[in-house]
């Protein structure tokens, strides 16, 4: 497969009026519209219809990452507001789950809003937690090429998780053009969110309710969970004219041994695997390329963005063989989960190894997520998006949903 570097991002542009971007979620999660795309034709349904629309032998993949309250606001003595957006832990650990359990001090990789007003010195903010007055301080430690390293310290024996949950704001996408509200802490989170680490929600999952999941199970449609911590790079538009010049952001994947074994069993039973969201899709497909690298002697558990278009696949090496390699590797090393990084770009020309469909929201023009949708259904993405425009679908994170079947 050749690198799809000649693809021009302008071919994945469309007009998205501001009024079509959903600023808030609907009152009921599953009341959103669902664009049902099957056999190359779009239809209007409701998300609550999903259990009746999925193929009977479907098997869903959920991303159970949890959005952290990643935006911390500080006010300087001059009155200037500085916002620090926590991206990922740096010290004393870069493991998300361990990082949230740390006591003062910690260092995180961050983006800084209004950074020109904060050249040096410590910022501080005060808030109440458990009847105690907490003083949180922040200090820049190092300037990186695309971010800063910021040290946070505080005066009480509480964990960093408690600091940001109490004092932080929901990291809403910039295109919503509004401040986060208390309700966003719940609604910008899936009902099955479990592992802290994302600074953006896997939004396709926002429509699911416990009732829908129960109805799916009644119909024999089961699911498995994995974790991809969504980074701020998910909102990064493709600014290069050709996608060969776009650098994909790296995101952290965690998949348990039990999940790998369950996915393998369902593949062997010829189930139709349908990821819920582009993050689940990228995680799932990344497993194939991790296994191929492992087979070639690379144990880094990293996937580069052009691996699918450059790595040679041996005869007989398929998705089940890839899972076998990962499962055996974990067992040999007495590990109960796989931990890795992916920069995988799924673009037109990509040959899907696991997924036969996708549940997703509508994506921004000229985005890598739209490229992923086009890789699945081809040029018909334009038909689907035009249909959505003409039928008053709501767009982006808090908007309506799609079910695309190959």
- Numbered ranges of CATH 3.40.1780.10 in the chain: 9-67+187-405
pLDDT digits (tens, 9 = 90+) for 173-188: 989 999 999 999 999 9
User: What pLDDT score was predicted for residue 5?
Assistant: 64
Indicate the pLDDT class of residue 2, thresholds 50, 70 and 90: low
pTM (2 decimals)? Answer: 0.93
Mean pLDDT of the chain: 94
pLDDT at residue 3 in the model: 62
For position 293, what pLDDT does the model report? 98
Q: Is the pLDDT of residue 1 over 60?
A: no
pLDDT score recorded for residue 233: 74
What does the pLDDT read at residue 77? 80
- Per-residue model confidence as pLDDT tens digits over 330-378: 999 999 999 999 999 999 999 999 999 999 999 999 999 999 999 999 9
Residues 68-106 have pLDDT tens digits of 999 999 988 888 899 999 999 999 998 888 999 999 999
Q: Judge whether residue 328 has pLDDT over 60.
A: yes
Asked if residue 236 has pLDDT above 80, the reply is no
Q: Which residues contact 315 (CB under 8 A, 6 or more apart)?
A: none
Asked if the 9-67+187-405 domain carries CATH number 3.40.1780.10, the reply is yes
């Amino acid at each position: 497969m050749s690198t799809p570097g000649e693809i021009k991002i302008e071919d994945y542009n469309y007009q998205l009026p501001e009024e079509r971007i959903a600023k808030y979620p609907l009152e009921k999660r599953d009341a959103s519209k669902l664009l049902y795309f099957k056999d190359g034709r779009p239809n209007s349904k409701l998300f609550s219809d999903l259990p009746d629309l999925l193929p009977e032998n479907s098997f869903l993949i959920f991303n159970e990452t949890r959005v952290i309250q990643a935006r911390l606001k500080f006010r300087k003595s001059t009155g200037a507001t500085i916002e620090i957006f926590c991206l990922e832990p740096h010290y004393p650990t870069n493991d998300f789950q361990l990082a949230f359990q740390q006591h003062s001090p910690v260092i995180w990789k961050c983006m800084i809003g209004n950074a020109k007003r904060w050249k040096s010195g410590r910022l501080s903010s005060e808030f109440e937690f458990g009847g105690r007055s907490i003083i949180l301080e922040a200090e820049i430690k190092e300037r990186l090429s695309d971010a800063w390293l910021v040290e946070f310290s505080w005066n009480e024996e509480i964990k960093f998780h408690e600091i940001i949950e109490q004092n932080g704001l929901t990291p809403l996408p910039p295109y919503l053009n509004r401040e986060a509200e208390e309700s966003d802490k719940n609604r910008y989170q899936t009902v099955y969110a479990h592992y802290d680490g994302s600074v953006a929600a896997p939004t396709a999952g926002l429509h699911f309710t416990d009732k829908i999941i129960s109805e799916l199970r009644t119909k024999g449609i089961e699911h498995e969970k994995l974790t991809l911590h969504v980074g701020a790079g998910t909102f990064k538009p493709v600014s290069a004219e050709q996608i060969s010049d776009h650098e994909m952001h790296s995101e952290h994947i965690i998949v348990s041994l039990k999940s790998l074994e369950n996915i393998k069993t369902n593949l062997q039973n010829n189930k139709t695997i349908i990821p819920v969201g582009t993050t689940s899709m990228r995680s799932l497909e990344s497993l194939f390329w991790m296994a191929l690298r492992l087979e070639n002697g690379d144990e880094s558990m990293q996937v580069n963005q052009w691996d699918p278009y450059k790595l040679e696949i041996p005869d007989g090496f398929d998705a089940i063989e890839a899972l076998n390699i990962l499962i055996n590797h974990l067992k040999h090393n007495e590990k109960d989960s796989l931990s890795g990084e992916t920069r995988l770009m799924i673009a037109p020309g990509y040959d899907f190894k696991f997924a036969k469909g996708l549940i997703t929201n509508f994506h921004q023009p000229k985005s890598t997520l739209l490229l992923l949708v086009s890789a699945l259904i081809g040029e018909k993405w334009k038909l689907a998006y035009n249909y959505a425009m003409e039928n008053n679908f709501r767009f982006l994170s808090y908007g309506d949903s799609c079910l695309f079947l190959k």
